[in-house]
Amino acid sequence: MSSPVSATPWRHLPADLAAAMRPQLPDTVAAVAGAVTEATPAFAGIADDKFTRDVHTAVQVALDRFLDLVGTGEPALPPRFREVFVGLGAAEAREDRGPEALLAALRMAARLLLRTASRSLARLRPVEPEELIDLSDAVSAYIAELAAASTDGYALQLREQAGEGDRRRHLAELLLRGDGLPSAELAGGLVGPAPGPVFVDDHLVALTLRGEQRALAVLTERRLAPLSQLRPAQRENLLGTLYAWLRHWGSRAEVATELFVHPQTVSYRLKRLRELYGDDLDDPAARFELLVVLTGQLATSIRKASGTSA
């Protein structure tokens, strides 16, 4: 039987994996860096040497660290490694790009890492099915840690930018309040010269991460609408499953472990969620919005519980 899923699944990886991969690490880094850039539309058109170097550095750090983790129970990202990916997320926010492109690039990196690791082992010896399962669990958990660090960096940068002045917050308030757009001159003064039309629907996630509660309310109503007709208990079960599934990058085993339910129960709930959400569950932007909404709901529940207990 395969080893149970744990918080550090890389401890179950075979010791010879790192030895198999390290000789070809420079070529692997170059291939992964090139592939994630070319396959991500938002990145493919960036003709900037610094961006290329940053991507290469991030891939180098990620693969080096993954190989260091093989066979250990260490946490995925000690502070100095985590800062690299926090910085990546912050850079996306500074460039006014959404987090979806970076998350899509990480998913691509996960597939390439799993493929490269599997082939490297196969060149040494026959690979058991259980080893591939362990490898898949380890890669999924590791990339989820990179995504979490990047998302934290993105959110932190947005909060910093929001604190630089009141111009953008004031514009968001005008838009969300429903009083209509400010005049050609006023809008220009708020967002800079010749901003063009601004549609709040295009910026709900960014506004939410800046702390705009009304943006969160609109986003929550929109994203949870497919569940609105369900019974409360059924709705809560599906929301909990969806939140765990998003955070664990679709790993049913990890979702089942977190929720203390049978994997078949997870499969049934996910089937129901797909009936309700359709292709949205495969859309990186929609998935990120759902994650933001469900995280916001969790924070609200914690605050309410704290107030009640007090």
The pLDDT, as a whole number, for residue 157 is 82
Least confident of 189-198, 224-233, 290-299: 189-198
Least confident of 54-63, 108-117, 268-277, 300-309: 300-309
| Mean pLDDT within 286-301 | 78
CA distances from 167 to 170, 171, 172, 189 (A): 5, 6, 9, 8
**What contacts 127, CB < 8 A, 6 or more positions away?**
118, 121
Write down the mean pLDDT value for the chain: 79
For the CA atoms of the chain, what is the radius of gyration? 21
| Mean pLDDT within 190-209 | 58
Residue 185: band (very low, low, confident or very high) from pLDDT cuts 50, 70, 90 = very low
The pLDDT, as a whole number, for residue 304 is 52
Reading the block at residue 43, the tokens are: 């990145």
Residue 177: band (very low, low, confident or very high) from pLDDT cuts 50, 70, 90 = low
The length of the chain, given as a count of residues: 310
Report the share of the chain in percent with pLDDT over 90. 17
Q: What is the pLDDT of residues 49-58, one digit of tens each?
A: 888 888 888 8
The pLDDT, as a whole number, for residue 64 is 92
pTM score, whole prediction: 0.56
Ranges 171-180, 259-268, 298-307, most confident: 259-268
| CA atoms within a 13 Å half-sphere pointing along the CA-CB vector of 131 | 17
Q: Which residue has the tokens 């599934």?
A: 245
CATH topology of domain 203-309: Arc Repressor Mutant, subunit A (1.10.10)
Residue type, 245: W
Listed by start position, the domains of the chain span 9-162, 165-198, 203-309
Answer left, alpha or beta for residue 5, where phi above 0 means left and psi between -120 and 50 means alpha.
Answer: beta
Reading the block at residue 300, the tokens are: 């609200």
Q: Which residue has the tokens 């744990």?
A: 6
Give the SS3 label for residue 178. Answer: coil
- Phi then psi for residue 71, to 5 deg, are 80, 5
The pLDDT, as a whole number, for residue 309 is 41
The pLDDT, as a whole number, for residue 269 is 92
9-162 CATH pick, 1.20.1250, 1.10.3470, 1.10.490, 1.20.1560: 1.10.490
Ranges 38-42, 44-48, 73-77, most confident: 73-77
| Mean pLDDT within 238-243 | 91
Handedness of CA 60, 63, 67, 68 (dihedral sign): positive
In 10 A of CB 11, how many CB atoms?
16
- Residue 31 burial by CB count (10 A; 0-12/13-18/19+): exposed, middle or buried? middle
Report the share of the chain in percent with pLDDT over 70. 79
Q: What is the pLDDT of residues 117-127, one digit of tens each?
A: 999 989 888 98
Q: What is the DSSP string of 13-25?
A: S-THHHHHHGGGH
Q: What is the pLDDT of residues 125-153, one digit of tens each?
A: 898 888 888 898 899 889 888 988 888 88
**What contacts 166, CB < 8 A, 6 or more positions away?**
none
